[in-house]
Amino acid sequence: MPDSPPIVFGNWKMNGRRTDAQALVQAILHGCGQPTTGTLGICPPATLLASAAEWLTESSIKLGGQDCAAEASGAFTGDISAPMLRDAGCGFTLVGHSERRHGHGESDALVKAKAEAAFEAGLNVVLCIGETEAEWDAGQTIQVLDRQLEQSLPAGVVADNLIIAYEPVWAIGTGKTPSMDDIANTHAHLKSKLASLSAVGGDLPILYGGSVKAANAGEILAIDHVDGALVGGASLKADEFLAIFQAGLEAKAG
């Protein structure tokens, strides 16, 4: 039986200026036309969001932030709030990306507060979780993911406002991925863990992220309970990003 069509989001991280970003968005739009099935989205840096919203006018491609503050406004120099993301044209935001958790010391409690602030502002959330290489090597992956879910799952989850992204920290930007069996086992575990934590938990999509590229996307996106991909580096090249989405469409069509 065919699975639900894939969700593929591109995280541009701290990359892109107006000229090259507009060319990238245009190349994505040109390459995919209007996706009529599946969900495609991009998360440019904050400086480009308002422009990207204009470039994407009348497109079904979704626009997201890479992070948001836990507060709605105030004396938080350098931070960007969820209402500001919404005002710039975003429909969703990432929270808890490993580069925030580990690069900026964000705790599970803070990630949870950010996700709740995003809901409050009417944004959907992609909640990122993942173990470090040391935790992976020590066989602690499930324990770490369970803790992250227990402590950062926001209140107010309904079936269509939250997506989980499982991203092993050691797979992000390294070219390394877990084996397909490992991804399958981890996603199966996450599915049942989410069902135990929330009435709608079993229905939440779970993306895989970490060195997804055109060459491995078909295999990864064919795995049960892998509902899509969060793509970093490969989302900066339109042909590569679209090839991942296409591989997902084919994998999910069965």
Residues serving a catalytic function are 97, 167
166 vs 145: CA distance, rounded Å: 9
Shortest Cβ distance from residue 212 to ligand PEP (Å)? 5
Rounded to a whole number of angstroms, the minimum distance from the CB of residue 214 to ligand PEP is 12
DSSP 6: P
**Chain residues 131-190 in contact with ligand PEP, contact rule CB under 6 A:** 167, 172-173
Q: In the chain, which ranges are E strands?
A: 7-11, 39-43, 62-65, 92-95, 124-129, 162-166, 206-209, 228-231
Residue 67, interface with ligand PEP (CB under 6 A)? no
Q: Does 231 bind ligand PEP (CB under 6 A)?
A: yes
Q: Which stretch binds ligand PEP (CB under 6 A): 21-29, 57-65, 199-207, 228-236?
A: 228-236
Residue keyed to tokens 């989205």: 41
Contact 128, 95 (CB under 8 A): yes
Binding ligand PEP (rule: CB under 6 A), the pick from 93, 124, 211, 246 is: 211
Rule CB under 6 A: is residue 220 a binding residue for ligand PEP? no
Cα-trace Rg, the chain: 17
Please, how many CA atoms are within 13 Å of residue 14, restricted to the half-sphere of its CB? 2
Report the residue number whose CB is nearest to ligand PEP: 232
Q: What is the size of the binding site for ligand PEP (CB under 6 A)? A: 14
CB 43 within 8 A of CB 9: yes
> What minimum distance in Å lies between the beta carbon of 135 and ligand PEP?
17
What's the DSSP call for residue 4? Answer: P
> Considering beta carbons, is residue 113 or 212 the nearer one to ligand PEP?
212
User: Applying CB under 6 A, which part among 26-34, 80-88, 192-200, 207-215 lies near ligand PEP?
Assistant: 207-215
What are the Cα distances from residue 118, in Å, to 78, 161, 207, 231, 246? Answer: 17, 10, 19, 21, 30
Among residues 169, 230, 238, 251, the one that binds ligand PEP under rule CB under 6 A? 230
* Interaction site with ligand PEP (CB under 6 A): 11, 13, 167, 172-173, 209-212, 230-234
